[in-house]
Amino acid sequence: MNTMRALVFDRFGEPSDVLKLREVPVPRPGPGQVRVRMIASPINPSDLLLIRGVYGRPAGPPAVPGFEGVGVVEESGGGFLAWRVLGKRVAVLNGQGGNWQEQVVIPARQAIPVPDDLPEEQVASFFVNPATALVIVTRVLRVPRGEWLLQTAANSSLGKMIIRLGHTLGFRTINVVRRPEAREELAELKPDKILVWQEGYDLAQLLRQHIPEGTVRYAVDAVGGPLGSQIISCLGPDGRLVVYGTLSDQPLLFSPRELMVNNRRVEGFWLAEWVKRQGPLTMLRLFRQIVRGLRQGVLTTKVAAQYPIERYHDALAHAETPGRSGKILLRFTRIP
């Protein structure tokens, strides 16, 4: 077959308005590249931000979203790496986006062979969240055993990984969620503390009901806005806040005094930038750590539903529903 289906957007906008399912030519790999037949790809918050034109440094449309996924390498464009992965099931890392189509061409080094025992749905979310959780906790903040780490959006897929990493590595987590029902959802992970924060609440006051003032020295925030802004004043001496998401789409606002007091620091983390600065050995070590974390159940992603590519409208609506119980996957294999 010389054509395939792809989800394409011609202009930035609301994903359900601008994404279209198109029949397009099957791409051919050049030297050092491979063609991957996609099996599934998650709908991550970053994919939706890309389509809205507010993610990182967006390249102009027309474009196909999809930063990660699982597929099988069907064609090599030549070169040792491409030959090595030919025929293998791989995690498809696509920092430029482009995985929401039936076939994708990527540099062979971005097709990561994964052991057969890892389930397909886990390989679909192999990299973006597991790598971010691991890198922030163990390489950026290096949270020591026994310390408290405060996190927002704690019931996100990534937040759950951080809770489990806390159990494995010996740090304690304070988990902020926006809905009271999320308490029960998180309870099975046995997090140390869960706080429900809503507009108008005072985070510092909530926190004092659980632990003594000034004890939190590490925090990560994916929400921003009033919640993210209130974290700063909750940090104890030398406290560090890493911001890694913009879920509320609102800015952080705080007095410079909040940073000066206690020598607090705020820093940003973006996986795409971090990866650019790493050598192949570090990446290899990280991939191995992720495989281990998936096998141990620490870096796994719960899947709420899977939709065939032609039902992308339903998939998008589900992905944007507050309180959904896990990731939404798009599936690309044609249903006979």
Ligand X SMILES: NC(=O)c1ccc[n+]([C@@H]2O[C@H](COP(=O)([O-])OP(=O)(O)OC[C@H]3O[C@@H](n4cnc5c(N)ncnc54)[C@H](OP(=O)(O)O)[C@@H]3O)[C@@H](O)[C@H]2O)c1
The number of residues that bind ligand X (CB under 6 A) is 26
Per CB under 6 A, contacts with ligand X among 148-177 are 153, 155-158
Binding residue for ligand X, selected from 94, 129, 175, 230, defined by CB under 6 A: 129
By CB under 6 A, residue 230 contacts ligand X:
no
Residue 296 amino acid letter: Q
Should residue 103 be labelled a site residue for ligand X when binding is judged by CB under 6 A?
no
- Between residues 4 and 299, which has the closer beta carbon with respect to ligand X? 299
In contact, 236 and 258? CB cutoff 8 Å: no
- Give the three-class secondary structure for 111: strand
The residue (of 137 and 153) whose beta carbon lies closer to ligand X is: 153
Residue given tokens 């464009």 in the structure block? 77
**How far from the centroid of its chain's Cα atoms is residue 332's Cα?**
20
Pick the binder of ligand X from 45, 66, 69, 293 (CB under 6 A): 45
Closer Cβ to ligand X, 82 or 222, answer by number = 222
User: CB of 131: closest distance to ligand X in angstroms?
Assistant: 8
Helical spans, DSSP H, in the chain: 15-18, 45-52, 80-85, 120-124, 128-135, 157-169, 181-187, 203-208, 225-232, 256-260, 271-276, 280-295, 312-319
Smallest distance from ligand X to CB 139, Å: 13
Give dist(CA 219, CA 242) in Å, integer.
6
Q: Is 87 helix (H, G, I), strand (E, B) or coil?
A: coil
Beta-bridge mates of residue 240: 218, 265
Q: Which listed residue (8, 128, 143, 266) binds ligand X by CB under 6 A?
A: 128
Task: Lay out the site mask for ligand X across 208-227 (x = CB under 6 A, - = otherwise).
Answer: --------------xx----
Strands 172-177 and 89-92: unpaired
Phi, psi of 262 (to 5 degrees): 70, 10
Report residue 262 as tokens. Answer: 């206690």
- Which residue in 130, 166, 239, 245 binds ligand X (CB under 6 A)? 245
Q: How many CA atoms lie within 13 A of 260 on its CB side?
A: 3
Q: x-or-dash pattern for ligand X, window 266-305, by CB under 6 A?
A: ---xxx----------------------------------
179 sits near ligand X (criterion: CB under 6 A): yes
Q: Give the nearest distance from C-beta 260 to ligand X in angstroms.
A: 26
Chain positions contacting ligand X, by CB under 6 A: 44-46, 128-129, 132, 153, 155-158, 178-179, 182, 222-223, 244-245, 247-248, 269-271, 322-323, 327
